[in-house]
Amino acid sequence: MKLTATPQVLLLGVLFAWTPAATAEQPTIPEGTPNGFSVRRGTNISHWLSQSRRRGEERARFFTVEDMTLIARLGYDHVRLPVDEEQLWDESGAPEEEAFGLLDSALDWAAARGLPVIVDLHILRSHHFNEGDKPLWTDPKAQDRFVEIWRQLSDRLKTRPNDRVAYELMNEAVADDPEEWNVLLARAVEALREREPERTLVIGSNRWQQVETFDQLRIPEGDPNILLSFHLYTPMALTHYGASWTKVGEYGGPVRYPGEVVTEDDLAGLPQDLAGAIRDGRGLYFDRTVLEEKLAKPLALARRAKLPLYCGEWGALPGAPRADRLRWYRDFRSVLERNGIGWAHWDYKGGFGVVDGERNVHVDLAHALLGEDVSLAPIPSTALGIFQGESEVGTVRLPGATVFDQGRREYRVTGGGENIWGAADAFHYAWQEIAGDVDLSATVRFVGSGKQAHRKAGLMVRASLDAAAPYVNGTVHGDGLVSLQYRETRGGETQEVKASLTAVPVSLRLTRRGDLFTLFVARPGEPLEEAGSVTVSLEPEVYVGLAVCSHETGRLETAVFSDLEVTVPAR
């Protein structure tokens, strides 16, 4: 006979299970290590110096100083930075100086924004946590190489302050015997302590740093500058829903949280190996109390050793039902913080990311991770590149920003304002003063789908920063309309010549030759063609730059200008 609890009984069980944990007095764990290294809320900078085929300019563009600025602005207080052996050293063991330069830049960017960094040795040539063959555990030379890698990293990073940079000795060790990891870990710790007695070292247990194996971890005795780290992605059926790299990702049926994430009825008829992967020995019922129970072994070790505790990876893919996924994030975050455990979710802008490739913030996830008061305003202007200044032209309720992304060689201009039209304008303008003839060219795209079909981004030549000033603007609208807009006199009505091409993104070129202005347009990668020309009498001294208007007073829109060139023709 099968007994089924009523909803009321299940609710009482949850309440009684939760209440003792909320009131029981447990020894607290330290907030940080004695050297001052302390981390609370962070994110992983994945797929940059780890698990990526990007090299050269593409790699440099993937993560830049503006990303670090956004991380700090969102409210994170640190980053975990995975690095791979094959990125930092070639097959002969020689350092890849370009990659080390990126690592140094990231540490500098983080330091300037008050963000501590955990440098995480993620993948070795001899060890990948998801590969079957792991020579690290059978080849003494591979073990020697692992220790030597940390000697070399220490030689390069040891001048970094102890309260700013920590070393995570290896991500997710997977040995057949946990003692193999304990012995190798002790060797690496000993080598580092000869060089850096007080550096914070981040260590976790064998077999993917699972909470279940934390009681098998041997930690250095009497070393207070240790940060214990675990990872948690349970229940996998929810967090890895649709993941191509794991068996459980093959499941396409319903999942839910809290409660029975996958029911036995859901499992009926599934292949035995898939059903087994979903059960995974961890049960099928999950709520906040179950998540807290999972932390018993890491918490016990941290309390016994009087060391701080850290969850270096946790996250859920967006393929799972949105509401259930966000409840899981909120619950686990509350469990971590309630127990004094710092964390870094996986990841900043990968498959689990809090932002997308264009740095659009996934607002609901940001709220779940960082609270409802998380700042979603545009990144404030940091460097203007070639421009001398930026201004709100006309009456603009929400101030915009101009960000020069040096790594990508792009300008991201965020602007509000009612319009660039009629007898007076309202928009955000990045500008420089130029006398005489000039050529401006760039490829222009908008960030996100936007709300207004008539939001505008363009290349402008303007008589002054006055709202009613004469101007000429090669502009693209949110719906792809491309036109040559102009105002001939101060306070006069705006006119336009529409291009036959409708496209966004679009390549634009605006030229001035005396009083003659000509616009050339094309789809990116195609030859430019003339779209129209107008005659507007302007003084030799003009303001030349990038204009963005949201077409709505209470809204901001962002446009990206890439391959920007501003040149003065030879006379």
Residues 67, 180 within the same domain:
yes
Cβ neighbour number for residue 173 with a 10 Å cutoff? 26
Please spell the DSSP secondary structure of 369-406, one letter per residue.
HH-TT---SPPPP---TT-SEEEEES--SS--EEEEET
Residue 197 reports pLDDT greater than 60: yes
Backbone angles phi, psi at 569, to 5 degrees: -60, 145
Domain boundary among 370, 397, 424: 370
Is the Cβ–Cβ distance between 253 and 269 less than 8 Å?
no
Task: Kindly tell me the sign of the dihedral angle through the C-alpha atoms of 366, 372, 377, 383.
Answer: negative
| pLDDT tens-digit readout, 2-21 | 223 323 322 222 322 333 34
pLDDT of residue 389: 95
Residue 378 within any structural domain of the chain = no
Task: Pull the structure tokens for residue 252.
Answer: 């396409």
For residues 363 and 132, which has the higher predicted lDDT (pLDDT)? 363
411: in domain: yes
Question: What span, in angstroms and rounded, lies between the C-alpha atoms of 415 and 405?
Answer: 17
Q: How confident is the model at residue 357 (pLDDT cuts 50, 70, 90)?
A: confident
Residue by residue, DSSP assigns 186-223 as HHHHHHHHHH-TT--EEE--TTTT-GGGGGG----TT-
**C-beta of residue 286 within 8 angstroms of C-beta of residue 261:** yes
CA distance 270 to 45: 36
pLDDT averaged over the chain? 92
Residue 535 lies in a domain: yes
Q: What is the pLDDT of residues 87-129, one digit of tens each?
A: 999 999 999 999 999 999 999 999 999 999 999 999 999 999 9
Collapse the DSSP code of 475 into the 3-class scheme (helix H, G, I; strand E, B; otherwise coil) and give the result. Answer: strand
- Tell me, what's the pLDDT at 17? 33
Of 36-40, 388-392, 472-476, 550-554, the one with minimum mean pLDDT is 550-554
**Is 517 inside any structural domain?**
yes
Res 181 pLDDT > 60: yes
Cα–Cα dist 118/95, whole Å:
20
Which carries the bigger pLDDT value, residue 571 or residue 51?
51
Candidates 184, 165, 186; CA nearest to 174 is 184
What is the extent of the structural domain holding 55? 7-370
Q: Is residue 2 part of a domain?
A: no
How far is CA 420 from each of CA 260, 389, 424, 511, rounded to the nearest angstrom?
Answer: 55, 19, 7, 20
- Under DSSP, is residue 313 helix (H, G, I), strand (E, B) or coil? strand
Tokens 């041997």 correspond to 218
Residues 101 and 193 in one domain: yes
**Three-state SS annotation for 136-158:** HHCCHHHHHHHHHHHHHHHHHHC
Short-list 447, 451, 379, 420, CA closest to 545: 420
Same domain membership, residue 156 and residue 21: yes
pLDDT at 11: 28
Overall residue count recorded for the chain in this entry: 571
CATH of the domain at 558: 2.60.120.200
CATH of the domain at 156: 3.20.20.80
**Domain shared by 441 and 361, yes or no:** no
Lowest mean pLDDT among 46-50, 149-153, 301-305, 403-407: 403-407
Residues 296 and 421 in one domain: no
Q: How far apart are CA 378 and CA 534, in angstroms?
A: 35
79 contacts 43 by C-beta, under 8 angstroms: yes
304 to 56, 159, 225, 300, 491: CA distances (angstroms): 47, 32, 15, 6, 75
Residues 306 and 434 in one domain: no
Q: Are residues 346 and 425 in the same domain?
A: no
Q: Taking the complete model, does pTM exceed 0.85, yes or no?
A: no
pLDDT at 21: 40
Domain boundary among 308, 342, 370: 370
Same domain, 318 and 440: no
CA distance readout (Å), 560 to 306, 408, 419, 447:
49, 11, 18, 7
Q: Which of 325, 340, 370 is the last residue of a domain?
A: 370
- pLDDT at position 186 over 80: yes
The pLDDT, as a whole number, for residue 283 is 80
User: What is the per-residue pLDDT across 76-96, written as a single tens digit (0 to 9) for each?
Assistant: 999 999 999 999 999 999 999
Residues 410 and 334 in one domain: no
The rounded distance, in Å, linking the Cα atoms of 189 and 221 is 11
| pLDDT of 25 | 60
**What b/e readout covers 314-339, taking b as 16+ CB neighbours within 10 angstroms?**
bbbbebbeeebbbbbbebbbebbeeb
Identify which of 401, 405, 410 has the alpha carbon closest to the alpha carbon of residue 557: 401
Give the residue-averaged pLDDT of 550-570: 92
Q: pLDDT > 70: what percent of the chain?
A: 95
Which secondary-structure segment (H or E) carries 109? helix 97-112
What's the pLDDT at 405? 80
Find out whether 359 and 326 touch, Cβ atoms under 8 Å. Answer: no
Q: Give the model's confidence band at 143: pLDDT under 50 very low, under 70 low, under 90 confident, else very high.
A: very high
CA angle 16, 19, 21 (to 5 degrees): 120
Question: Under the phi-then-psi rule, with left for phi > 0, alpha for psi from -120 to 50, and beta for the rest, what region is 146?
Answer: alpha
> What type of residue is 193?
R
Are 67 and 181 within one domain?
yes
| β strands within 422-494, DSSP E | 424-435, 438-446, 456-462, 471-477, 481-487
366 shares its domain with 398: no
> Would you state the pLDDT for residue 378?
73
Task: Examine residue 377 and state whether it is found in any structural domain, yes or no.
Answer: no
- Roughly what angle, to the nearest 10 degrees, separates helices 140-157 and 178-195? 30
pLDDT over 70 (residue 264): yes
pLDDT digits (tens, 9 = 90+) for 146-161: 999 999 999 999 999 9
Of 79-83, 230-234, 260-264, 509-513, the poorest mean pLDDT is in: 260-264
Residue 565 near residue 441, CB atoms below 8 Å: yes
What is the four-CA torsion angle of 229, 205, 82, 141, rounded to 10 degrees? Answer: 150
pLDDT of 1 over the 80 cut? no
Selection from 220, 219, 228 nearest residue 340 by Cα: 228
> Pairing mode, if any, of strands 529-535 and 259-260?
unpaired
Q: Which of 26, 81, 23, 86 is nearest to 48 (CA)?
A: 81
| Higher-scoring residue by pLDDT: 39, 569 | 39
User: Is 1 part of a structural domain of the chain?
Assistant: no
CA gap 506, 130 in Å, rounded:
42
Indicate the number of domains in the chain.
2
Residue 238 makes CB contacts below 8 A (sequence gap 6+) with 255, 257, 261, 286, 316, 320, 324, 325, 328
Whether residue 383 lies inside any domain: the answer is: no
Asked whether 509 and 440 are in contact (CB, 8 A), the reply is yes
More confident call, 8 vs 560: 560
SS3 content of the chain, % helix, strand, coil (to 5): 30, 30, 45
Report residue 339 CA to chain centroid gap.
26
Record the tokens describing residue 259, joined without a space. 């409660």
Task: Give yes or no for residue 396 having a pLDDT over 50.
Answer: yes
Same domain, 223 and 269: yes
The predicted pLDDT at position 281 comes to: 74
